Chain A
Amino acid sequence: MKLKYSFTEKSFLRETEKLAAPNENAIVAQNLTKLFKSRVRNATQDSIFARKENKVVTALDHLELEIKRGELFGLLGPNGAGKTTLVKVLCTLLPPDEGVALVNGFNVVNQQMQVKRSIGTLFSIGERGFFWRLTGYSNLEFFAAINNVPRRGRRERIMEVMELVGLRDNAFEIFQKYSGGMKRKLALARALLPDPPILLLDEPTTGLDVSSSRNIRDFIKNNLSKKAGKTVLYTTHYIEEVSQMCDRVGIMNRGSIIALDTPAALKNMAKRGEVAEVVVKNMSDAQVNALRSLDGVAGLTAEVQDTVLGQTRLRIRLESVDALRTVLDFFFNEKIKLINFKQEEPTLEDAFIELTGAGVGR
């Protein structure tokens, strides 16, 4: 895919240049806190007359983050970790309750317009924000106008971003006829329309097939990050995505960044000890729990591999190689049949599980 970026409307460029604040960090969050207060129905009563109770959820908990200009930064976390809330705070949609957030050097609370001119945003369900009876082109024409893309050169810019995401041939099709992948690509094209220096991409590949996901990831890494030098904040709960494409990764859990480094360094964090990947047959939940509680087992994830054959894939983090003997004895004593056994290098997934204490999707 050829990157042209021939969009050179002078006034627009002048405005963008003015926005480039002299700061090496594109995004800064300090002590950022967001609480959600609501009145919710008592979850223990199944009645329309159930009493409502006040509930406070801490979505962002004194979060600290710095993302450098031109960096492709991955934000990894399980569902409910606070990733979407962070994106919404950074794009000015949610005001923080405490702390400061700067985007392109501008404060998200009192310099909202400057922040909005500096960013392109893709929400995790971004395709719902389109107008389904309009063509892809007409949708982008509307969003180009409200995002201050100058009237002169607007058509060229729209066709350019549609070509960038591979939708040029479908530009004049009705949006509701687009496939899920095409809708997501159009949402990405919308985020690119004003040619912003910073892109906030919230789970851009959720719900897409493997091929579409890979296309979008490659496009973000090669075209947006490497060639165009955009700063990209990429949130996901898919470990492989950030592991393969991001310069640095922050692992987020319960509203805080609990680890932040390059994917390689994060993998190294998990390198203490050993990892064994085992495929077993007919292992009960009780046996999995018993294995998890053995001395020398630092962590364990279990995933059903084949329900018909009764096979389960276990990923066992061992404190040292000596613990391997204990684990094998356990399988022997419990008469559990081993289908496959291999020792592996710790991955980002191991670091993630160790840090968050959670399993992740995929």
Chain B
Amino acid sequence: MLQELDKVYYFMKRDIISFSTYKTNILLSILSAFFGALSYAFLGSNASMQSVTQIYNIPFTTYLIIGLAFNTYLSQSLTLVQRTINPWSLEEVLVSPTGLVTFIVGSSLWGFIWSTGVIAIYLAIGVFAFGMVLSVNIIGTVLVVGLGIGTFIGFSMIGAGILILTKQGDPVTTVITIATNLFGNVLFPPQVMPFQLRVISFFVPQYYFFTCIRPMLTGQGLQTIFPDLLVLFVMCAIILPLGYMIYSLCLRTARKNGTLSWF
């Protein structure tokens, strides 16, 4: 019996030692739990439903389904680049005459096609099961989705770059996920939050993405979202090239240090 307990202890000790080497991961798990609880608390409040009707003039179900559907899209974009950095495949790609942009675009494309299918399923359920009424402004939707994807691929490249260097948890993805759920206008309008939290939304691109996408799917014109679209455009114009620069820099550093295939 004691011998078995001794074994159990060493199994646990092995896991604690391994776990403790991923310090960023530990911190991020704690933060995720805290902000996750906060998000669902706001979602469950009556104020959310009232605000949606007042601000967007659409049913709460429509608000929520569009939010969840396009959040899948953004989540997909956010992890796309990370998923391509299997160290061994990465080495094989890097020794081929293939540029970084081709590599990222090529590795991302199927993910987007699949996500588009998932969004279609969300929206179909909304329309057929919950009577959601859609009136799509195609140009506006393509514009907003394009800027959203651009911004999130920028974030994804920053996260992947950090992951290549630290080999630990990717703080960018976790922070962006938290920010999306809490400040992104996905599950509830930021207007229901206290002012001190609400102002953070204005610095979060997801807020502008979701503020723009809903009107584009519910029959409103581009002019109604113009100021928010402009902010989203500026954010995309900054984050996408910044992400590319950080990713390239981290890749170069990992190559220089010889740590590309360490994971």
Contacts and interface: CB of A to CB of B under 8 A. Distances in A.
Give chain A's interface secondary structure class: mixed
B88 A129 contact: yes
B98 A146 contact: yes
Given A48-B20, A129-B88, A146 B255 contact: no
B27 interface: no
Contact of B89 (A88, A95, A131): A131
A38 interface: yes
Interface residues of B, number: 21
Given A113-B97, A116-B95, A93 B89 contact: no
A147 B96 contact: yes
A101 interface: no
A143 B96 CA distance: 8
B261 to A, nearest CB: 8
Interface stretch (A120-128, A160-168, A258-266, A323-331): A120-128
B241 to A, nearest CB: 22
Contacts of A34: 258
Given A88-B258, A123-B91, A146 B20 contact: no
A95 B255 contact: yes
A147 B102 CA distance: 12
Contacts of B97: 113, 116-117, 146-148
A129 B89 contact: yes
Contacts of B89: 129-131
A190 B257 CA distance: 26
A146 B93 CA distance: 7
B223 interface: no
B245 to A, nearest CB: 18
A94 B256 contact: yes
A143 B93 CA distance: 8
Contacts of A121: 95
B92 A143 contact: yes
A129 B92 contact: yes
A64 B96 CA distance: 26
A34 B257 CA distance: 9
Contacts of A119: 95
B257 A93 contact: no
B95 A91 contact: yes
A78 to B, nearest CB: 19
Interface in A113-172: 113, 116-117, 119, 121, 123, 125-126, 128-131, 143, 146-148
A59 interface: yes
B93 A95 contact: no
B17 A94 contact: no
Nearest to A85: B258
Contacts of A243: none
B256 A93 contact: no
Interface string B62-106: 000000000000000000000000001101111111100000000
9 contacts: A36-B257, A92-B94, A93-B255, A94-B258, A119-B95, A121-B95, A126-B92, A130-B89, A190-B92
Given A94-B258, A143-B96, 6 more contacts: A36-B257, A38-B259, A93-B255, A95-B252, A117-B97, A147-B96
Interface of B: 16-17, 20-21, 88-89, 91-98, 252, 255-260
Interface of A: 34, 36-38, 48, 59, 85, 88, 91-95, 113, 116-117, 119, 121, 123, 125-126, 128-131, 143, 146-148, 190
